[in-house]
Structure 1
């Protein structure tokens, strides 16, 4: 029976291309909404005129302040939100397939905690003497944390974590938990020892996810990173299908388990590190979105990967809109919104999944 299932995965049904044309429309609609809706009320006509001026070279007369808000603040913010949402959702898809754990998400590898430590080390402790920005420090911390988790998993398992052993999944999860706790403790220690009240407040706001500071420079980094993650996942979509049956099944299908697993985990770790370094720790995107999309499009990664990327992008744009409009005159950390939506959604998904068994 297992062989039959594996053959069916190796020869999936024809992808439903008739739905593909909806993807750019949905994403475009979400970006327009993220650009039009915000703290300041700006008409849709003004939004469209500004976009026409910037993208098509039109010469509509618009207020310069409105044009600056739309082009330099809201649109860039919406695009970065889309890239980060897509990247985090893809990382969740990959980790849940490789580790065969429904609770796996991008921050399981200690990346979020490491990024937080790096950001605090730069802004509070002053490591780098001003040579590093907050984002650069966060990326360095994320990379260090991931390297430590991989080293710990390698030592603890005698090299088995990247092999076909059933022990591998458990080892990398435990190593990620240990790494997260270590770097979270380091972050708390540095804040308590060196941060002023104002620094502690700004750091805590960033740790909960913050898109307020992103601009077009971040777009240049976020979009290519998300697209690269999407292409890597699509390239390995058949391998991801087979990995859901276990590493031994993947090896029996001719997949080079260690290289493929290493490429996927490292690439998703880098995607997560880049996103976290720009916007901080945003939870539940990589955990909830893959599960929700499995209910809609099924578990085959030919459909699950692009669907999760699109849903993650739209979800984070929508969460960002709520973070700017839910409380009048105040911008909430976007991580608060994703948690308020994601936790109940995950509970419903979990209850529905258990009832189906």
Structure 2
């Protein structure tokens, strides 16, 4: 029976970061990485929007994310490969009721060195070409149906932005494989059926290869970097409902489109921050295109990743056109569905 000091389930950015940083800190043990995909970062890591921010409401999130932003900013220098880092910022826009509560966060943000700027409506409009903060240009019936209100202010997170999680994951694994005397053994196309748990302690896993061969492997530590699938594995390992993690799996879709105003595109679009507007619609610059997303309300806890073009047309683009009239030209070019663990 094979034995490793550490078995890591999942080969995405979480496991890549875990393994690289353990080795960097001097971990000398043997490491086995298992993933049912056919390549590194083939799961949710590959389908993420890749946004990062330190604009949160708790001290711990603000401090952790500020630290992480520093790592991403210096990723290429440390790792020798890039991660498509874009420090273009985050822009949150607000209606009056929510805006009235925002000043309460200023003291905490300042105490935790969160770099932010308060924007007035005209300043928001200057950052996002064609966006109109008011509602006078909208049909009153549409305003009522969509429950739109004037945007009265915004918060711009200057240190926030986006990156490519897949590139970062590959970078972590490449360094782990090439720079240390005990590189991880990576076995792809391999599913973990269950974790062996003895007296509350994980002692190994049972895996199944692409050929259907099952094998039990022992370990000193088992790390489940499996995102939305963690509870599935724990259930198969015999854990009861009361012992599962508070994680649910929800579909998130991303839409790649032309820029508003296409083909006469305002050059400022390539410099926009990741922006959140009405109904939680968010968008950012992505390799010469616009990437748009919107979480569906009451998305069920399941593993469906079916891409829905109609959702973009009816639930994303139509409301977006009301706030940014030139978004009527945001023709859908491609898209995908992925999973988000909440």
TM-score, structure 1 as length reference: 0.23
**Higher helix proportion:** 1
TM-score, structure 2 as length reference: 0.24
Structure possessing the higher radius of gyration over alpha carbons: 2
**Higher strand proportion:** 2
